[in-house]
Amino acid sequence: VRTQVAIVGAGPAGLILSHLLAAAGIDSVVIDQRSRDEIEQTIRAGILEQSTIDLLASIPGSRAHTVGLRHDGIELRFDGAGHRIDFPGLAGRSVWLFPQHEALRDLLAARIGAGQDIRFGVTATAVEDASGARPRVVAVDDAGAGLEIEADFVVGADGSHSVVRRAISGSHDGYFREYPFAWFGILCEAPPSADELIYSNSPDGFALISQRSPTVQRMYFQCDPTDDAQAPSDAEIWDTLQKRVPGTTLNEGSIFQRDVLRFRSFVARTLRQGRLAIVGDAAHTVPPTGAKGMNLAVADVVLLARALEALLLRSDEGPLDGWAEAALDRIWKAQHFSWWMTSMLHVAPDATDFDRHRQLGELRSVVESEAGRTYLAEAYTGWPFG
Ligand code: DHB
């Protein structure tokens, strides 16, 4: 197969990139090792920045504004009190609760409806001629048949175990940080317990009360990275959650999914080499606190689509040469914000009394200062694409 851009990965980054390229008249082929059902059913992110939702809403058939719910703030809870961060008042923007799997259903329907070549159940195994003008993605389908895609440009939107990343020299190393805790996440059938998300710093550890829809809720509590998601009973889970949001009585309901999410920060050292680039989770990982992961992936491909337009339609390499630096500018701001929210809200296993009091001082410094609240609101709602 020959195409202009080979995209490995049909998650949000890969599909949005194929949409932006098609709108500019550039052909692409998208492959993903998963089936369409698997992609549409994986429960992942929930909170989208204003710029992300605006972009999704511009794609024909999008339910971003009908299924999505605008959230104009969050609550930070600590030391027995709640403090609202008012996004429009402080940053002039909001965020939207629009589950990633719903966004993916829309994106897949739109791209397939537009005639996009997407191949499911096709696993990339290598990139050949990675340093040449026509790199090739070598892949194999579920039946064992081989496929080669020759392209002017190859984009790895293939997640944290990216095959494309391995073809970029130096990209196996990068900048890492591990954290001494994880999140225990549940999905349950219940009405929301609060109008807005609650980020709670309690002496027993962090909890986040999020939502998915009027009838399904997502909640998390800080746990040990080695904890087994199947170990606690439902009653124990509710007990832990209730204790960590003092002042609110959570609406309990049947828990139908549970998982333990490991925390990691990672940025690959090299995002682009010649005619190869990596985007989204292939290029970076953030800890979940602050919900930056999917938003960063979308920002990567908005910038990359502009650079590929210049390269492929006008033979102008300038924007591509500046792409990694422009993407990294936002990536490191998001890394800082995610690290900061994480460290400010969680209780480290080795925290001393000093650490605990300092953390409460930090939280008070943020909520009592308009400058502090404004930084949080600007970062949470996301920096404009520019
Ligand atoms: C969700 C996850 C987050 O990391 C966050 O900061 C807010 C919401 C969620 O899954 O709903």
What is the homologous superfamily of the domain 178-263+348-381 according to CATH? D-Amino Acid Oxidase, subunit A, domain 2 (3.30.9.10)
Q: Is 293 in the pocket of ligand 1 (CB under 6 A)?
A: no
Q: Please provide the DSSP assignment of 180-230 as one string.
A: EEEEEEEEEES--SSSSEEEEEETTEEEEE--SSSSEEEEEEEE-TT--TT
- Name the residue with tokens 């682009």: 272
Per-residue model confidence as pLDDT tens digits over 290-321 = 999 999 999 999 999 999 999 999 999 999 99
pLDDT at 241: 98
ipTM (interface predicted TM): 0.97
The DSSP element (H or E) to which 147 belongs, if any, is strand 146-156
Q: Does 246 qualify as catalytic in the annotation?
A: no
- Decide: 11 in ligand 1 pocket, CB within 6 A: no
Ligand 1 centroid from CA 27, angstroms: 34
- Tokens 């460290």 -> residue: 343
pLDDT given for residue 357 in this prediction:
97
| pLDDT score recorded for residue 20 | 98
Q: By CB neighbour count within 10 A (0-12 exposed, 13-18 middle, 19+ buried), where does 201 fall?
A: buried
Whether 47 is in the pocket of ligand 1, judged by its Cβ within 6 Å, is yes
Cα(48) to ligand 1 centroid in Å equals: 10
Find residue 174's DSSP bridge partners.
Answer: 268
Q: Closest residue (by CA) to atom 3 of ligand 1? A: 291
120-166, pLDDT tens digit by residue? 999 999 999 999 999 999 999 999 999 999 999 999 999 999 999 99
Whole-number Å distance, alpha carbon 185 to ligand 1 midpoint, is 10
Which of 42, 102, 197 best tests ligand 1's pocket when mutated (most atoms within 8 Å of CB)?
Answer: 197
Active site residue 288: yes
> Among the options 12, 99, 284, 380, which is catalytic?
380
> Does residue 380 carry a catalytic annotation?
yes
Q: Could you tell me if 170 and 196 are in contact, meaning their C-beta atoms sit under 8 angstroms apart?
A: no
Q: Does domain 2-69+95-176+265-343 have CATH number 3.30.465.10?
A: no
Residue nearest ligand 1's atom 9 by CA = 46
304/183 Cα distance (integer angstroms)? 32
**Catalytic residue chosen out of the listed positions 19, 284, 292, 346:** 292
pLDDT recorded at residue 171: 61
Report the pLDDT value the prediction gives residue 170, as an integer from 0 to 100: 66
**C-beta separation of 312 from 153 below 8 A:** yes
* Segments making up each domain of the chain, as ranges: 2-69+95-176+265-343, 178-263+348-381
Which residue's CA is minimally distant from atom 11 of ligand 1? Answer: 46
218 within ligand 1 shell (Cβ under 6 A):
yes
Which of 158, 156, 157, 136 is closest to 147 using CA atoms? 136
Tell me how far apart the alpha carbons of residues 88 and 86 are, in angstroms, rounded to a whole number. 6
Give me the tens of pLDDT residue by residue for the chain, a chain 386 residues long. Answer: 999 999 999 999 999 999 999 999 999 999 999 999 999 998 788 899 999 999 999 999 999 999 999 999 999 999 999 999 999 999 999 999 999 999 999 999 999 999 999 999 999 999 999 999 999 999 999 999 999 999 999 999 999 999 999 999 766 689 999 999 999 999 999 999 999 999 999 999 999 999 999 999 999 999 999 999 999 999 999 999 999 999 999 999 999 999 999 999 999 999 999 999 999 999 999 999 999 999 999 999 999 999 999 999 999 999 999 999 999 999 999 999 999 999 999 999 999 999 999 999 999 999 999 999 999 999 999 998 86
Catalytic residue of the set 135, 199, 220, 346: 199
DSSP run (H or E) holding 311: helix 293-314
DSSP state of 385: -
Could you say which of 19, 71, 284, 346 is catalytic?
71
Virtual torsion, Cα 156, 161, 167, 173, nearest 10 deg: 120
> Residues in the chain, how many?
386
Q: What is the pLDDT of residue 212?
A: 92
CB-CB contact of 164 with 258 (8 Å): no
